[in-house]
């Protein structure tokens, strides 16, 4: 029997905008991630928040673009015309919060004295959890390209255009002639969206306005629209990518878990005991485990890392988001009167909001189509959760203590096998690290 002593959160955060065309010649998402455990994890990655209510969608796109702000731009296909009131910016701390709240986690338990029967409260603690005007500053006439500027807006530090086009080559030529550097191969992808009668949300930074506002960083952009289409348009982001990328989607809904309809949705391996030394190497451990899971699915799966009611958590990697934060991310069905935090383990303002964290490793070959999503009624709880058990080191003598000590080598061996199966790491390396941290393995 064990007592829960600690929860260690590692954030598999991503750092740039989904489905974008960066003006600067770089990776598609041009971002670097440094884990909380001082380990770089997924450095070609992005994070997106989706809130879905009926046929209403809010998509929030986060960026940690590092460079000259005037070199930043984003092009995102949208299924309908976008009015100014449907566009906003979000505090990046809110996205960081939902990232921490849903991140895969390491939990620690301490074994209790085997000679002392556990009290009911200790048994409860030890139990594992359940599973429109046209702008004047664009000199090239769009009509000659078959491009229509349907609207232009000032949105905080961004200049935003809503474009439609008749042909992809005309759209590409207009973007290039207006100082957008479009990567080779973009034309065919843009053409597929044009055939679907989709419009294009184009944003770039207004440096003067950004300076006047006093911001030193780019805030995440949010777009809200009504459409039967529920999707993540990721194909544009593959055009100028230098290899596979990672996308993390935080999906909010009233009803339950969000899943992909055109790719397999798979739960990440979870609720598995691992050796004690993983506490100091959780970043490399999770990266290796995720890469192995991706390879086992031939990079054709969407992985669930977290699915839970937003009002509570067990164990908690961070405090649940409050109503103000949830509304800011697009969950407007809950109202925003209660701006306080929700105590851990109790139902609060997010009780009618369900969050799903999806993690995708993709490239143009493995994911030739955008990810189409659907709401389900499944409100079953799930989290990427890895467990450590600290052995009891007392000196008490009884039959239970003798049996406990005799069983420890078998437990250590199981933890080693778990780690090797999850990551593909060599047994001799795992055994050496375990012995150095007080978990010696018997020779095979």
Report residue 51 as tokens: 């809130």
**Residue 34 in contact with residue 69, Cβ under 8 Å?**
no
Indicate the length of the chain as a whole number.
444
Predicted local distance difference test score (pLDDT) of residue 238: 76
Q: Is 375 helix (H, G, I), strand (E, B) or coil?
A: strand
252 sits in which H/E element: strand 245-253
In 3D space, the residue among 129, 408, 107 whose CA is nearest the CA of residue 278 turns out to be 107
**Residue 72 in contact with residue 82, Cβ under 8 Å?**
no
Give the whole-angstrom CA distance, residue 180 versus residue 25: 11
- Indicate the burial class of 160 (C-beta count within 10 angstroms; 0-12, 13-18, 19 or more): buried
Q: Which residues of the chain have pLDDT under 70?
A: 1-44, 63-67, 117-144, 240-241, 335-350, 443-444
Measure Cα distances from 272 to 106, 126, 167, 423 in Å: 10, 15, 52, 12
For the segment 175-234, what is each residue's pLDDT rounded down to a tens digit?
Answer: 888 888 777 778 888 899 999 999 999 998 888 898 888 877 789 999 999 999 999 988
**Residue 24 in contact with residue 72, Cβ under 8 Å?**
yes
Predicted local distance difference test score (pLDDT) of residue 90: 95
Predicted local distance difference test score (pLDDT) of residue 334: 86
Predicted local distance difference test score (pLDDT) of residue 124: 47
In 3D space, the residue among 140, 206, 198 whose CA is nearest the CA of residue 170 turns out to be 140
**Residue 221 in contact with residue 60, Cβ under 8 Å?**
yes
Provide, rounded to the nearest whole percent, the portion of the chain with pLDDT above 90. 56
**Residue 18 in contact with residue 248, Cβ under 8 Å?**
no
Q: Which residue has the tokens 């999707």?
A: 231
Predicted local distance difference test score (pLDDT) of residue 68: 73
Cβ contacts of 75 within 8 Å, gap of 6 or more: 19, 20, 21, 175, 180, 200, 201, 202, 236
pTM: 0.83
Q: Which residue has the tokens 């969608």?
A: 57
Cβ contacts of 120 within 8 Å, gap of 6 or more: none
Give the whole-angstrom CA distance, residue 225 versus residue 162: 13
Give the whole-angstrom CA distance, residue 313 versus residue 317: 8
403 sits in which H/E element: helix 399-423
For the segment 300-358, what is each residue's pLDDT rounded down to a tens digit?
Answer: 999 999 999 988 888 888 888 999 999 999 999 986 444 444 444 444 555 789 999 99
Helices (H) and strands (E) in the chain, counts: 9, 20
Predicted local distance difference test score (pLDDT) of residue 20: 31
Beta bridge partners of 307: 356, 382
For the segment 344-368, what is each residue's pLDDT rounded down to a tens digit?
Answer: 444 455 578 999 999 999 998 999 9
Cα atoms in the Cβ-side hemisphere of radius 13 Å centred on 242 = 8
């Amino acid at each position: 029997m064990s007592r829960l002593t600690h929860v260690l959160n590692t954030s598999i955060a991503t750092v740039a905008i989904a489905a974008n065309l960066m003006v600067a010649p770089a990776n598609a998402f041009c971002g670097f991630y440094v884990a909380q455990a001082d380990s770089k994890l997924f450095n070609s990655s992005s994070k997106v928040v989706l809130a879905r209510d009926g046929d209403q969608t809010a998509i929030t796109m986060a960026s940690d673009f590092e460079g000259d702000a005037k070199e930043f731009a984003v092009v995102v296909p949208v299924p309908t015309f976008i009015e100014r009131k449907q566009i906003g910016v979000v505090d990046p701390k809110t996205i960081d919060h939902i990232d921490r709240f849903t991140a895969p986690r390491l939990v620690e338990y301490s074994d209790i004295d085997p000679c002392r029967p556990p009290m009911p409260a200790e048994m409860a603690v030890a139990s594992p959890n359940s599973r429109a005007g046209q702008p004047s500053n664009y000199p090239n006439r769009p009509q000659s390209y078959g491009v229509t500027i349907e609207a232009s807006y000032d949105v905080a530090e961004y200049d935003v255009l809503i474009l439609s086009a008749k042909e992809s080559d005309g759209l590409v030529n207009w973007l290039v002639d207006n100082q957008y550097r479009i990567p080779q191969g973009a034309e065919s992808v843009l053409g597929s969206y044009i055939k679907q009668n989709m419009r294009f949300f184009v944003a770039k930074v207004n440096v003067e306005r950004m300076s006047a506002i006093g911001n030193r960083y780019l805030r995440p952009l949010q777009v809200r629209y009504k459409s039967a289409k529920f999707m993540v348009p990721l194909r544009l982001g593959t055009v100028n990518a230098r290899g596979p990328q990672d996308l993390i989607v935080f999906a909010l809904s009233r009803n339950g878990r969000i899943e992909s309809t055109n790719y397999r949705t798979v739960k990440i391996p979870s609720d598995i005991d691992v050796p004690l030394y993983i506490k100091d190497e959780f970043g490399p451990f999770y990266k290796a485990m995720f890469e192995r899971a991706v390879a086992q699915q031939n990079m054709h799966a969407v992985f669930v890392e977290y699915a839970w009611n937003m009002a509570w958590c067990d164990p908690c990697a961070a405090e649940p988001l409050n109503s103000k934060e949830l509304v800011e991310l697009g969950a407007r069905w809950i109202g925003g009167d209660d701006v306080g935090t929700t105590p851990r383990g109790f139902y609060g303002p997010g009780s009618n909001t369900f969050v799903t964290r999806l993690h995708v490793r993709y490239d143009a070959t493995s994911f030739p189509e955008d990810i189409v999503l659907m709401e389900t009624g499944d409100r079953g709880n799930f989290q990427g959760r890895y467990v450590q058990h600290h052995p009891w080191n007392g000196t008490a003598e009884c039959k239970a203590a003798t049996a406990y000590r005799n069983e420890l080598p078998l437990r250590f061996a199981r933890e080693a096998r778990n780690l090797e199966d999850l990551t593909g790491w060599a047994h001799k390396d795992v055994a050496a690290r375990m012995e150095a941290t007080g978990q010696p393995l018997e020779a095979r």
